[in-house]
Amino acid sequence: MMEKEKLKERLSKLLSLKKRKELLGRFCRYLPQEIGLVFLESSKEFQELRDLLTDDDVKELIKSAFPQFEVITPEQIKGFRVYLAFILALDGYERRLKALEYDGDDLPARLEDERVLQQVEELKLKHRPGRKPKKKLKLEKYWGEIKKLRERGLSYAGIAEFLRRRYRIKVSPRYLQMVYKELEAGGAPAKSER
C-alpha cells in the first residue's frame, strides 16, 4: 500500500501543468536514441501502473490534473494510463541524466553530450559564412530585368512592386537598392552562382 501511495503522490506532482510543460519541452529536444529509451522505459512503467493503480485511482488522478473532465470513460482511463507511464518514464530518464557524472561509458550521459553537439552543428549550418541569402539569390536570377527597369528610371519601390506581382518575390525597396548597388559594383552574377 505504501508503494501505491508514493506512486500516486509522485504522479500528482508530475501532472502539474508546469512540470508537464517542462518535461515535454525537454522531450522535444531529445535525440532519436533517447526517444527510444524513454518509450522502452514507458512500456515497463505501464506494466507497473497496471498492477498498482486501479481504475478508480486513475480516475482520481485524471480529475485532479484535468478538472474539465466530468465523465470519464474506460477508454480514457486506458489512454491516461499510457500517458502516465510515458510521464513517469520521462521523469525517470531526466532524473538519471541529472544524477550522472560523465564517465565515458554511460549511455544517457553520452546522449546528453551528443544532443549538445547536434545543436551546435545545427547552429553552424544556419550561420555558415559565405552563404548567400535566399532573397538575394532570387534577385540575382532576375538581375537583367531589374537592371533594365532601373535604367528606364523606375524607382526601387516600383521594381519591388513589379517583382511582387510578376514573380511573387516580396522584397523591400531598401533591400533591393542594397543588392542592386552590390551587384552593380561587382558586375552581373556568373551563371555558376545561380
Residue for grid cell 506494466: 47
Cα distances from 67 to residues 12, 87, 120, in angstroms, run 13, 19, 41
pTM above 0.85, yes or no: no
For residues 59 and 68, give the distance between their C-alpha atoms in angstroms, rounded to a whole number.
13
Quick one: which of 88, 84, 108, 113 has its CA closest to 96? 108
Q: What is the pLDDT of residue 94?
A: 81
pLDDT (tens digit per residue) in 121-174:
666 666 566 666 788 888 988 999 999 999 999 999 999 999 999 988 999 999
Residue 108 has pLDDT above 60, yes or no: no
Interacting residues of 99 by C-beta distance below 8 A, sequence separation 6+: none
